[in-house]
Structure 1
Amino acid sequence: MGVIVRDWAGHVLAASSRRLSGVFPAVVVEAMVVRYALGLARELGLHSVEVEGDCAEVVTALTSHETVLTSFSLIIEDILVDAAQFFEMVSFCHTRREGNVVAHGLARHAQNIDDFCVWMEEVPEFVRDQYLADLYQATIS
């Protein structure tokens, strides 16, 4: 899994790579990433968060007011309970896969580690170029 936590201006607060044990369907992994990201945001003491993900199925499940039984329903339920309990405001939005390249780079790195890595207020060298490109795009948009 790969997660990047940014402030309102796009500057990095934390980045993390975490290896998963086991094999899961992609949509389940995406839901697990959201749960992990909220846990990291909570540990950072954030009260208001916007979670961006490139899996439309997970974002729809998180923003829909309907309960649909899926392979990841229990994870969605955990996310929504935690969001209500620990945060003043949480929003979930879909982003294109191209808009999520830093997180994907962090996820690829997770395949090479035993457990997890967290970088505070910086991104690791192997995703720095993608992060700087994202930051630049945000400033000209």
Structure 2
Amino acid sequence: MNQRNCILYGGQLKHPTNLNKRAEEFLEEFKHSQVSLDSSPREQLIGDSWQPPPAMEYKLNFDAAIFLGLEKSGIGAIIRNDKGEVMAGMSAIGPKVDTSEEAELLACRRSIEFTVDAGFTRLVIEGDNFNVMHAISSDVANYSFLGNVVDDIRHLISGLQWATTSKIRRGSNKVAHALAQHAKNLDYDLFWLEDSPPPAMEALYQDLILL
């Protein structure tokens, strides 16, 4: 993990298979704590619902946020298993950026680095920016000024045991979006292991009720 100011919740990095039992316990606690939340009409959420990865795989959702007037951006990432249980999460401070595409690419790279550091090697990678997801999944050389970032991401993905990428609608990326927005007032990066990120609790609940 990058050597920078950060706060780590939930203990040391562990292999993903060791997180399942703890994740199930947190999931039950989360469900009990959220029973009073008003679940919006189910019909309105179906088209924008998060879908779990295949059994024995993990899904990484990432997002970026641009904060006008601030010298930084926000990065959000969440890793879940096929039951929708949270394996790890991140709300981090990114650099000042000029475009949403730059923000999304930097968030993608940082999120995959975080995922690799946490020990996950079989991933479904999802983001909601079409250009970014197309660029990282393509074999065509990228000669834009962000081409080096695209190359970094492709290299990280090639080092995984198994991976696939997918472009999703914004409504399916609510948890990562909430974590990216949460970085606006942070002075330190936040990481959660074996724990559900409090800034994204409502978004997590919205996803869980549709599984």
Count the aligned residue pairs.
137
Q: Percent identity of the aligned residues?
A: 26
**1:74-120: per-residue Cα shift (whole Å, max 9, x none)?**
111001112222x1111110010011111111111101111310111
Deviation, structure 1 residue 136? 2.1
**1:41-95: per-residue Cα shift (whole Å, max 9, x none)?**
111211111110000001101122212322321111001112222x111111001
User: For residue 46 of structure 1, what is the aligned residue in structure 2?
Assistant: 120
Indicate which of 80, 84, 96 corresponds to 1:22: 96
Whether 1:60 aligns to 2:134 is yes
Q: Any idea what SS the aligned residue of 2:142 has?
A: coil
Contact preservation (8 Å) 1:4, 1:14: yes
User: For residue 109 of structure 2, what is the aligned residue in structure 1?
Assistant: 35
User: For residue 192 of structure 2, what is the aligned residue in structure 1?
Assistant: 119
What stretches of structure 2 of length at least 5 have no aligned partner? 1-74
Alignment of structure 1 residues 43-122 onto 2, 5 Å: 43-85=117-159, 87-122=160-195
Deviation, structure 1 residue 8? 2.2
- Which amino acid letter does the alignment assign opposite residue 16 of structure 1? M
What stretches of structure 1 of length at least 5 have no aligned partner? none
- Which amino acid letter does the alignment assign opposite residue 112 of structure 2? L
Residues of 2 paired with 1:16 and 1:126: CA distance? 10
Deviation, structure 1 residue 129? 1.3
- Which amino acid letter does the alignment assign opposite residue 20 of structure 1? G
- Which amino acid letter does the alignment assign opposite residue 152 of structure 2? D
Query: In 2 relative to 1, CA 136–71 (structure 1 residues): closer, same or farther, beyond 3 Å?
Result: farther
- Which amino acid letter does the alignment assign opposite residue 118 of structure 2? L
Deviation, structure 1 residue 7? 1.3
Q: Provide TM-score, normalisation by structure 2.
A: 0.61
Moved more, 112-121 or 92-101: 112-121
Residues of 2 paired with 1:21 and 1:66: CA distance? 27
Coordinate RMSD, CA, aligned = 1.3
- Which amino acid letter does the alignment assign opposite residue 67 of structure 1? A
- Give the structure with the higher percent helix: 1
- Which amino acid letter does the alignment assign opposite residue 39 of structure 1? E
Contact preservation (8 Å) 1:28, 1:71: no
Residues of 2 paired with 1:23 and 1:63: CA distance? 23
Residues of 2 paired with 1:57 and 1:18: CA distance? 22
